[in-house]
Amino acid sequence: MAEPTPNGAASVAPASTPLLRIEDLVVHYGLGGGPFRRSEHRIHAVEGVSLTLSPGETVGLVGESGCGKSTTARAIVRLLEPTAGRILVDGVDITHLDRKALRPLRRELQMVFQDPYGSLNPRLPISEIIAEPLKIHRQFKKETGRARVDEVMSLVGLTSEYAKRYPHQLSGGQRQRVGIARALALNPKILILDEPVSALDVSIQAQVINLLEDIQGRLGIAFLFIAHNLSVVRQISDRVAVMYLGKVMEFGSRSQVYTHPAHPYTRALLSAAPVADPALKGSRQRIILRGDVPSPADPPTGCVFHTRCWLREQLDNPARCSSEIPQLVDATGMGQSVACHFTEYTGQAIRPKAPTGDSLPTTTALAQ
C-alpha cells in the first residue's frame, strides 16, 4: 500500500506513524553581494524534498557529491534554517521553533558526522566528549552519569581503557565509534548519519556498518543514512531515496530501487557501481552521462536531469523535459516513486539505446 506525500508522491507505506516526516523541504543559500556577485543569486541546495522515517527503519539517501544530501541532513536537525517546507519529529513541527523550544526535541534527534576527527573536541578526553550532551541537556546525574558513559562506550565496542584518551590517540574507526556513542548518550529515537563511513578504510567501514545494524537491532532506533556508496546503502537500508541537484529522483524499497531502477539517473548510478564478482563484470555495460552537473545557482528549467539524460532524445516529445517539472509519483502502483515524465520508457520491458558507445545494462545486471 503506497502512502501519499504532501507533493503528491507515494512511498513505501511505513509500518506505523512516522517518527520523522519531511514535507517539501527547501534550502537556498544567498551568495551575498560583492564586486563580482549579484546579491539576488541563490544556491538551490535542496528543492522540495519529502521523506518519511518510521521506528526501527533505515532510509538511505544516495546521490553524487553536491546533490544536497548533507544539506538535507543539517536542515533536519536545524543546523541550517530551512527556506520552506516542514520538518516534523514524532508529530511535532520543529521547522520554526526557537532554540529554547527546540532543545527538548534535540534529545530525540541526534547526528553522526562524516569527519570523526573534526566533529570531536580535541581538548577533551573521550569520556567527557560522550558525557557532554548529557550535561548540556541536564541529564548527567552524579550517581548514574558515569555509568551511562560506560554503557554507551560498551555498546559501540570501546572498553573503559579508552575513557581517558584523547581523539588524536585513536584510529579513524575508533573516533567514529566515539561519535556514535556521543549521539547515543541521550537515548534518541532517530540518528541522522551523514556519510559516517566514507572517511574510513573498507574493512573498517564494514565493522562500523555491522555495529550500526547491531545497535539498531538492540535499541530500535530509526536511521537516516546518507552516503554516495551504493553498496553500503544497499546493505543497511530498508528504503532508498536517490537525489540529484537538490531533488529526489526516485524513492522506493531497497529491492525496487536496486533490482528495478526506473529513473534514468538511478540506472546510470547503478551501472557505475563496482562489481564484486569478476565473472559478472563483462556482462554489465556502463551508462556514461555526458556533460557536467549543472550549477545549483542556475539549475535547468523543467527536469533538472534533462541536460544529461541519455533517454531524452529518444522520446517523442523531448521538449517536455526542459519545460515541465516532473512530479515524484508512483507510476507503477507498487510504491516506487519516480520523478520522470516518461517513466513508462524506463521500465523493464523497454530497452532504449544507451549513449553512443555504451549499451544499456539489464535490470538483472544492475542488481548484481
pLDDT of residue 346: 53
Task: For residue 4, list its beta bridge partners.
Answer: 10
pLDDT of residue 118: 87
Query: Which domains occur in the chain, in start order?
Result: 1-106+221-368 (3.40.50.300)
pLDDT of residue 8: 37
**Model confidence at 2: pLDDT above 90:** no
Mean residue pLDDT of the chain comes to 84
Task: Give the pLDDT band (50/70/90) at residue 198.
Answer: confident
**Model confidence at 365: pLDDT above 50:** no
Q: Distance between CA atoms of 236 and 59, rounded to whole angstroms?
A: 9
pLDDT of residue 231: 87
pLDDT of residue 323: 92
Q: What is the pLDDT of residues 215-237, one digit of tens each?
A: 999 999 999 999 988 889 999 99
Task: Give the pLDDT band (50/70/90) at residue 38.
Answer: low
The C-alpha cell 572517511 sits at 199
pLDDT of residue 326: 92
Grid coordinates of 364: 538483472
pLDDT of residue 277: 61
pLDDT of residue 163: 94
Task: Give the pLDDT band (50/70/90) at residue 40.
Answer: low
Percent of the chain with pLDDT over 70: 83
pLDDT of residue 34: 54
Better-predicted residue by pLDDT, 302 or 288? 302
Total Cβ atoms within 10 A of residue 154: 12
**Model confidence at 367: pLDDT above 80:** no
Count of CA atoms in the C-beta half-sphere (13 A) of 106: 20
Closest CA to 333 of 324, 325, 344: 344
Q: What is the pLDDT of residues 245-299, one digit of tens each?
A: 999 999 999 999 998 898 999 999 988 877 666 666 556 677 888 888 899 989 9
pLDDT of residue 349: 37
Grid coordinates of 354: 544507451
Q: Distance between CA atoms of 49 and 33, rounded to whole angstroms?
A: 28
Closest CA to 88 of 1, 180, 5, 2: 5
Q: What is the pLDDT of residues 338-350, one digit of tens each?
A: 999 887 655 443 3
Q: What is the pLDDT of residues 100-118, one digit of tens each?
A: 999 888 899 999 998 888 8
**Model confidence at 4: pLDDT above 60:** no
Task: Give the pLDDT band (50/70/90) at residue 84.
Answer: very high
Percent of the chain with pLDDT over 90: 58
